[in-house]
């Protein structure tokens, strides 16, 4: 955008400050996308630059060009890319991280699943939050499902499975106590309805919400345990696969495919892509959200 | 989806559109410019375009400002149409001029469909059509752009000619969170495709453009212009899923690859298969701000 001719609006060609972005970071952005499926938009490019900056300090690399060589030249490149991914994906999470995903789930997916399963005896919905970190995601899902319990999900049982590799995270998740930062995107309506105030001005999730969720430790790379995860209607695995390389990623995705029921859905984080790791899933769009769909048996497009 | 609209309804719509005296007055340079876009590039000269545009100073001024939008790629406003053509190419400048003309034909008013929302969608669609055809290689990018820009003009016709009926249709769509064309058909018995077509015929647009306007919700009904219509159909869906829709939540799941339009387009452009739709969506999200800005420039009228 031409800053001179226009009012001072945030411009995509400029970083958070007003320094123009070093074009090398666009190259790094493309490389990161190719390796991990994470896309840093122009607006978020400064975060990528900051992550690179921290790595450059570690490596005593002086210029972005020099750092680019670390990322692209043998033998360091695979290891360095992993380090960079760690930098730009630090265990960040919060409640209500993606409203469009929740809308897609409540407004489109649930009615579809309910209509689909209505002839079955067991009216049970199973959702899996894979890589749930400290619990923000599964609690968000649980509260939103409770909102539907008098409507679309009337007479349905909802089970939410929440797993993470990190023991400490799982313990924190079970406690369900959150401060302002984790709650920054949570609507007041939900805060009032589903939380109780506890010490330090924090809020704790009500027991009724916790009741829907089953927390446990699970390594997504543990094939024998992954085989047992069956009958999922929807899987959320947001901002997790970024930690894996291509082959372990595709292994996990194939597991997810078998873990899902027919007509089930799989969500990634909002800036992630599956790339071309699995061609059995259909890419589907909802307003503001992308998901992967396991075709139904009757669609005959397996 | 929608059932075909009966021939007699189409005739009625056409009669009513014709009868309206306050039909959008498109700037005089619009139609000659659009015709030029259909000519082989070597038959159109810079001087002709410059001469044409000199009849309408406000359009020229606006064009220069729009040319510096990030979506058209110039960092600085060119001083003259000639300078713009040197940096952007004649055809690109022609489409910018046409975009400005369209903005003038349908100015901001308190209509059932907010013109700002309408223009964001139309421009978004124009950009997506152009980018799609860039990614597919081959095909006429500027023509794709124009097709995207004009596909929904029927909505503006509805606002002007059938404001009450269309107002009810919009309300119906919002309440049920369903696509606008479905709501139009349910409440009015015809859609913006029929009214848009009536205007397109009145304006003597090319057959391709008429097909785009009339069939973009059912590309398989277009006989001759199928790939172009299919391109617009897919771009329209993508825009509606990425914050460039009609300003309300549509309860919809869109599977572009399974859409019949995908197969139509794929027959023509094998490279479509390689388009990374997720990355494309992310790029589109990035363009939203620029598009909104462009809309305000276009709606601002001739003088800054
Ligand atoms: C950034 S958090 C994502 C939290 C939440 N899903 C979200 O999107 O807000 C990533 C989580 O993935 C977990 N993780 C990384 N590798 C894993 C593995 N192999 N198995 C299970 N979880 C893993 C980490 O422990 C971390 O809690
Ligand atoms: Fe339309
Ligand atoms: Fe449209």
Residues B67-103 have pLDDT tens digits of 887 777 777 778 888 888 888 888 888 888 888 888 8
Residue B252 and residue A6: Cβ atoms within 8 Å?
Answer: no
- Residue A81: its pLDDT value, please? 85
> How many CA atoms lie less than 13 Å away from B161 in the CB half-sphere?
26
This prediction has a pTM of 0.88
C-alpha to C-alpha distance for A141 and A205, rounded to whole angstroms: 13
C-alpha to C-alpha distance for A171 and A174, rounded to whole angstroms: 5
CATH number of the domain where residue A209 is located:
3.40.50.150
pLDDT band at A148 (very low <50, low <70, confident <90, very high): very high
Q: What angle do CA A78, A84, A87 make, to 5 degrees?
A: 150
| Cα–Cα separations (whole angstroms), residue B1 to A178, B4, B131, B180, B220 | 46, 9, 27, 12, 12
For residue A6, being part of any structural domain is answered with no
User: Are residues A240 and A118 part of one domain?
Assistant: yes
Higher pLDDT, residue B228 or B54: B228
pLDDT for residue A116 is more than 50: yes
For residue A2, being part of any structural domain is answered with no
Residue A107 and residue B241: Cβ atoms within 8 Å?
Answer: no
**Residue owning the nearest CA to atom 7 of ligand 1:** A93
**Identity of the highest mean pLDDT range in B46-50, B178-182, B279-283:** B178-182
| Final residue belonging to a domain, choices A41, A67, A88 | A88
A238 lines ligand 1 (CB under 6 A): yes
User: Are residues A160 and A285 part of one domain?
Assistant: yes
The sign one gets for the Cα dihedral B176, B180, B185, B188 is positive
| Final residue belonging to a domain, choices A88, A109, A132 | A88
With beta carbons under 8 A apart, name residues in chain B contacting A111: 251
User: Are residues A199 and A63 part of one domain?
Assistant: no
- Residue A7: its pLDDT value, please? 35
For residue A38, being part of any structural domain is answered with yes
B253 touches chain A (CB under 8 A): yes
User: Are residues A186 and A41 part of one domain?
Assistant: no
A285 closest CB neighbour out of B77, B254, B293: B254
Residue-range definition of the domain harbouring residue A126:
99-299
Beta strands A232-236; A124-130: pairing state: parallel
User: Are residues A204 and A70 part of one domain?
Assistant: no
- Residue A191: its pLDDT value, please? 97
For residue A261, being part of any structural domain is answered with yes
B253 closest CB neighbour out of A4, A273, A284: A284
Residue A40: closest C-alpha in chain B: B282
User: Are residues A134 and A36 part of one domain?
Assistant: no
**Six-digit token string for A291:** 């998901």
Give the pLDDT mean for A201-220. 96
Residue A1 and residue B252: Cβ atoms within 8 Å?
Answer: no
Are A15 and A46 within 8 A, CB to CB? yes
pLDDT band at B22 (very low <50, low <70, confident <90, very high): low
**Six-digit token string for A1:** 């955008």
Distance from CA of B69 to the nearest CA of A (A): 6
pLDDT band at B132 (very low <50, low <70, confident <90, very high): very high
| Final residue belonging to a domain, choices A88, A113, A141 | A88
Are A12 and B70 within 8 A, CB to CB? yes
Residues B239-257 have pLDDT tens digits of 999 999 999 999 999 999 9
User: Are residues A181 and A261 part of one domain?
Assistant: yes
ipTM, two decimals: 0.90
For residue A27, being part of any structural domain is answered with yes
C-alpha to C-alpha distance for A256 and A47, rounded to whole angstroms: 30
User: Are residues A260 and A148 part of one domain?
Assistant: yes
pLDDT for residue A1 is more than 50: no
User: Are residues A115 and A79 part of one domain?
Assistant: no
pLDDT for residue B40 is more than 60: yes
C-alpha to C-alpha distance for A45 and B33, rounded to whole angstroms: 40
Q: Which ligand is nearest to the CA of B182?
A: 2
> How many CA atoms lie less than 13 Å away from B186 in the CB half-sphere?
14
Residue B242: closest C-alpha in chain A: A288
pLDDT band at A299 (very low <50, low <70, confident <90, very high): low
For residue A93, being part of any structural domain is answered with no
User: Are residues A194 and A57 part of one domain?
Assistant: no
- CA B132 to chain CA centroid, Å, is 15
User: Are residues A224 and A131 part of one domain?
Assistant: yes
pLDDT for residue A140 is more than 80: yes
Are A293 and B258 within 8 A, CB to CB? no
Residues A269-286 have pLDDT tens digits of 998 998 877 889 999 999
User: Are residues A280 and A139 part of one domain?
Assistant: yes
Residues of chain B with CATH 1.10.3210.10: 1-24+109-289
| Residues in chain B, overall count | 304
What residues of chain A have any CB closer than 8 angstroms to a CB in chain B?
Answer: 1-2, 4-6, 9-13, 33, 37, 39, 41-43, 103, 107-109, 111-112, 271, 273-275, 282-288, 290, 293, 301
Q: Which ligand is nearest to the CA of B238?
A: 3
Residue B278 and residue A283: Cβ atoms within 8 Å?
Answer: yes
The DSSP secondary structure of B180-209, one letter per residue, reads HHHHHHHHHSS-HHHHHHHHHHHTT--HHH
- Residue B164: its pLDDT value, please? 94
Give the pLDDT mean for A146-174. 93
For residue A172, being part of any structural domain is answered with yes
CA–centroid distance, residue B151 to ligand 3 (Å):
6
- Residue B24: its pLDDT value, please? 65
For residue A11, being part of any structural domain is answered with no
- Residue B142: its pLDDT value, please? 87
Residue A14: closest C-alpha in chain B: B70
pLDDT band at A39 (very low <50, low <70, confident <90, very high): confident
Residue B252 and residue A13: Cβ atoms within 8 Å?
Answer: no
* Residue among A161, A240, A269, A272 whose CB has most ligand 1 atoms within 8 A, to mutate: A240
- One CATH from 1.10.3720.10, 2.60.40.10, 1.10.3210.10, 3.40.50.1220 for B1-24+109-289: 1.10.3210.10
- What is the total count of domains within chain A? 2
């Amino acid at each position: 955008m031409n800053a001179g001719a226009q009012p001072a609006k945030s411009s995509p060609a400029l970083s958070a400050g007003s320094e123009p972005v070093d074009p090398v970071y666009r190259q790094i952005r493309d490389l990161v996308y190719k390796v991990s499926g994470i896309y840093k938009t122009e607006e978020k490019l400064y975060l990528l630059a900051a992550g690179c900056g921290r790595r450059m300090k570690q490596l005593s690399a002086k210029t972005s060009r020099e750092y680019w060589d670390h990322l692209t030249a043998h033998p360091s490149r695979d290891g360095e890319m992993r380090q960079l991914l760690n930098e730009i994906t630090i265990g960040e999470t919060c409640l209500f991280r993606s409203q469009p995903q929740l809308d897609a789930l409540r407004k489109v997916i649930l009615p579809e699943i309910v209509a689909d399963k209505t002839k079955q005896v067991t009216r049970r919905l199973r959702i899996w939050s894979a890589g749930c970190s400290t619990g923000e995601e599964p609690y968000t899902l649980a509260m939103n499902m409770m909102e539907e319990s008098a409507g679309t999900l009337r007479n349905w049982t909802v089970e939410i499975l929440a797993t993470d590799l990190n023991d400490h995270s799982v313990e924190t998740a079970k406690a369900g106590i959150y401060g302002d930062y984790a709650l920054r995107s949570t609507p007041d309506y939900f805060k009032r309805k589903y939380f109780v105030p506890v010490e330090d001005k924090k809020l704790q999730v009500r027991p009724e919400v916790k009741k829907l969720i089953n927390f446990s430790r699970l390594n997504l790379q543990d094939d024998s345990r992954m085989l047992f995860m069956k009958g999922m209607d929807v899987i959320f695995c947001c901002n997790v696969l970024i930690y894996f390389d291509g082959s372990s990623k595709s292994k996990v995705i194939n597991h997810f495919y078998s873990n899902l029921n027919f007509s089930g859905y799989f969500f990634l984080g909002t800036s992630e892509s599956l790339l071309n790791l699995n061609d059995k899933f259909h890419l589907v769009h909802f307003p503001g959200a992308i998901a992967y769909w396991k075709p139904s048996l009757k669609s005959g497009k397996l | 989806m929608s059932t075909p609209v009966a021939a007699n309804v189409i005739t009625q719509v056409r009669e009513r559109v014709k009868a309206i005296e306050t039909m959008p007055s498109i700037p005089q340079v619009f139609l000659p410019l659009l015709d030029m876009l259909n000519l082989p590039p070597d038959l159109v000269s810079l001087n002709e375009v410059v001469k044409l545009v000199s009849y309408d100073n406000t359009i020229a001024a606006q064009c220069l400002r729009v040319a510096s939008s990030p979506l058209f790629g110039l960092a600085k406003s060119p001083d003259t149409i000639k300078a713009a053509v040197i940096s952007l190419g004649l055809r690109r400048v022609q489409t910018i001029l046409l975009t400005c003309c369209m903005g003038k034909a349908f100015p901001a008013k308190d209509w059932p469909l907010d013109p700002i929302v309408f223009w964001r969608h139309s421009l978004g669609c124009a950009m997506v059509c152009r980018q799609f055809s860039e990614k597919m290689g081959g095909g006429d990018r500027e023509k794709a752009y124009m097709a995207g820009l004009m596909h929904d003009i029927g909505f503006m016709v509805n606002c002007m000619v059938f404001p009450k009926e269309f107002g009810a249709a919009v309300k119906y769509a919002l309440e049920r969170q369903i696509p606008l064309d479905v709501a139009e058909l349910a409440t009015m018995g015809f859609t913006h495709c029929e009214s848009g077509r009536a205007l397109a015929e009145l304006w003597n647009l090319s057959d391709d453009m008429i097909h785009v306007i009339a069939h973009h919700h059912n590309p398989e009904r277009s006989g001759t212009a199928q790939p172009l219509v299919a391109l617009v159909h897919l771009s329209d869906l993508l825009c509606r899923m990425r914050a460039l829709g009609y300003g309300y939540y549509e309860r919809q799941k869109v599977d572009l690859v399974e859409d019949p339009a995908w197969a139509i387009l794929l027959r023509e452009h094998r490279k479509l298969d390689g388009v990374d739709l997720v990355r494309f969506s992310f790029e589109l999200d990035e363009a939203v701000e620029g598009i909104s800005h462009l809309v305000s420039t276009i709606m601002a009228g001739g003088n800054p």
